[in-house]
Amino acid sequence: MRLAKACVLSLLFHAAILGGGSLTGLRPGRSQPPPTPLQATLLPPPLPAPVLLAPAAPQAAVRADPKPKPLPPSRPPHSGFTAVDAARMALRQIAEQPFYPEEAIARGLEGEVLVRLFLDESGNAITARLERSSGHDILDEAAVRAARSVHSLPAGTPGEVLLPVRFRLR
């Protein structure tokens, strides 16, 4: 008996909504006013543009490989230009280009990456390898990519150089 009453009430309710529209205030066929157009205003970015600090190469952080390896026969003999000198020049070249990823800046990521740079006899980067991570993949990849762009270091530059690349926001 309860089920029959519930079905009758449901039918009456739905008939009232669909037929008269008195419960919802809407009648079929009646047009609604057009929606107001959306308006948007572009605001400047909330964060000021970061100032990149030039990576510095402290004497303790840049060091030659602890086990000296013989130079390949195609390289000229070492001419007094040390790995520290090469690292300083390479870091100056890296600092001259914008290499701090925008995504890392937006996320406020900072860190230091240690990259081993391999150079040819002309002082150009052959490749670079991650030696110590900053803990953020995006910073590690940016440091390796920046190190690979090093070029034209003086003749007699050691074949391998360790570069401490620092990412700091002010």
Q: Is 153 part of a structural domain of the chain?
A: yes
> How far is residue 149's CA from residue 128's CA, in Å, rounded to a whole number?
10
The total number of structural domains in the chain stands at 2
Q: Are residues 22 and 88 in the same domain?
A: no
Q: Does the pLDDT of residue 70 top 80, yes or no?
A: no
Question: Which pLDDT belongs to residue 11?
Answer: 85
Q: What single-letter DSSP state applies at residue 16?
A: I
Q: How many CB atoms lie within 10 A of CB 141?
A: 14
Amino acid identity, residue 137?
D
Question: Which pLDDT belongs to residue 66?
Answer: 59
Residues 6+ away with beta carbon under 8 Å from 159 = 71, 72, 75, 118, 119
Structure confidence at residue 91 as a pLDDT band (50, 70, 90): confident
Across the range 7-27, mean pLDDT stands at 70
Q: Is 137 part of a structural domain of the chain?
A: yes
**What percentage of the chain has pLDDT greater than the value 90?**
28
**What percentage of the chain has pLDDT greater than the value 70?**
66
> How far is residue 74's CA from residue 155's CA, in Å, rounded to a whole number?
13
Q: Is 16 part of a structural domain of the chain?
A: yes
Of 20-29, 34-43, 93-102, the range with the lowest mean pLDDT is 20-29
Q: Is 146 part of a structural domain of the chain?
A: yes
Q: Is 99 part of a structural domain of the chain?
A: yes
pTM equals: 0.52
Q: Are residues 21 and 90 in the same domain?
A: no
pLDDT tens sequence across 45-66? 554 444 445 454 444 444 544 5
Structure confidence at residue 68 as a pLDDT band (50, 70, 90): low
**Cα angle 165, 150, 115; round to 5:** 35
> How far is residue 161's CA from residue 115's CA, in Å, rounded to a whole number?
8
Question: Which pLDDT belongs to residue 145?
Answer: 92
Q: Does the pLDDT of residue 143 top 80, yes or no?
A: yes
Q: Is 106 part of a structural domain of the chain?
A: yes
- Domain housing 22: 1-27
Report the SS3 class of residue 93: helix
Q: Are residues 90 and 23 in the same domain?
A: no
Beta bridge partners of 115: 130, 163
> How far is residue 55's CA from residue 71's CA, in Å, rounded to a whole number?
28
Question: Which pLDDT belongs to residue 45?
Answer: 53
